[in-house]
Structure 1
Amino acid sequence: MSIITTIPAVPSRLFSIYAALSDSADGELRDQLEAWSTPPSLATRGSGDEDEAESSLFISALQEARRLGIVDERDGRLRIVESAREGKKRKDREADFRADLCKVLFDPVRAGQAEHGAFMLALSWFLSKNPLEPLNFSEAPQEMLRKELGENRDKTELTNQSRYQNFLYWARYLGFATFVGFDTVRRVFPDPTRAIAGVLPKIFGEAPLLEIESFLSALSEIFPVFEGGTARGVLDGMRTEPFDNSDRLSIATSLALQRLADRREIGLEAVADARGRILDFGVGTKRISRIRRGGAE
């Protein structure tokens, strides 16, 4: 089970549990938290199939919160684990929540222990897709995965429409996807702009300028789903056809870096005698060798 396969484990449900327990040093009774999670319209109806369904939603979401290591239970009381409290000022609970999730989901060892390793494989595959040819939110990608990954396709856990859509919700929530449209015409674009922007301070540290290789190395250490990352490497090794592992970055990564440059959050520079990487925009390319924090000088 994982946040892909446990369909009720959508971001809003897990965050509601996290937020409800954030300020409670002694935790909350399980029954009380479950009652809070039940809409009043259901709570006033008495027992029945709908109440049982709502309870099941809570139980499934709680199960994943515990598997992810952000919630534990002692003596019938649910609490945020101590490691998730450390260093938190609680000014932005949702930012804390995302950070705690990323500590598990993007750590190969912890993700494997929590049975969430497939998420990085699925995200690596997703980020390798061309955002100029968006995916259909309502159309499961099994045939596409079969052609690209062969017998390894099920290792992504994207085995049906419900799992695929649950994965997409999480990809968007964590800053790796953009949705456009609604219902049957909704399209999904691999877009890691927000994810990269959120870790720029960690990537640069005190350095105002990084060589492109240093930048990508730091990025893939934080998120192994990018080029050079361990999860991306595992995914590429599963492909039915050899993958072009040249100096050209994926279109999704390239467009994300260019968007950040357009916003002057970073500056993209080319130096003739330095090693460079090629940004691929689908309709053109651009060579860069250094990235500056805060825009070009």
Structure 2
Amino acid sequence: MNVIYLDKEYLTDEHYALALGFFDGLHQGHLALVDEVKKNADEKHLKSAIMTFDRHPLSLLKNEKCQSLISSNDRIELLADMGIDTLFVIRFTMDVAKLSPQAFIDQYLKHVDHLVVGFDFRFGHKNKGDVSSLSHQHFEVSVIAPIMYDEKRKVSSTLIKELLTSGNVEEANRLLTRPFSIRGEVVHGKKRGRTIGYPTANVDFDSYYVIRRGVYGVRVKVNDSVYYGMGNVGNNPTFNELSNDLLEVHIFDLDEDLYGKTIKVEFIKFIRDEKTFSNIEELKLQLKKDEEQIKKALTITKYSI
């Protein structure tokens, strides 16, 4: 897949079927847009493309810290696996934010023959543009209806974050169509896990959404190998050593130095909430129970170990 970062208009002889949006999550709702792009690209002999931004607009417009379900690199990898030809990434600046809906179309959508958007799509200065702004343009438009979760709620990144906050990882994964995951570099910690028989690989959440504190059954990808393990999300209250939430992963059947390596941790099942223990022996006993419960849970699901 070709990844093109846009500071201004892009000159090309190609013509595209293109979906426009932020795509935080690439969940069931987003995949409906991707499928429509691929269908129109095939039928009309166009290149398939997605157009998004290099950061969430609110991070600039309101100086908000925006935690995402996927990183920029995750988005690239997922879209490439889906067979998309080109990903356009607009570098979102105040100049871009000030573009009127028509100016945005003129600058970025010149080479689009078929545009795909969601039913509630908004764009342009102060979100003044909507689906009606896309009529009478040089491209055809497909407006995709919402994928409903229940009678009142659509599948959305907000809903998935709510599920993750409640500990309902399995339902969140169903809406994502894959396990929620975090990819990051293994960093140095206090190394306390090693002293009690449970060495951990520690990964910072960075810009990822911080899910419910607690213990999880996880699947870990290290280079080309896959392992299973137990992950803890939290600030290690027993030792009261961390100011920010961290992901600590004890990987089953792996004993090697991972410091500096990038690993991917997929969350499969929520086991219990984080808790404070009175002493080390009480903690070790609970960790043993967690390990047994995780191995049993992952064995009786499709995630065999």
TM-score, length-normalised on structure 2? 0.28
TM-score, length-normalised on structure 1? 0.29
* Higher normalized strand content (fraction of residues): 2
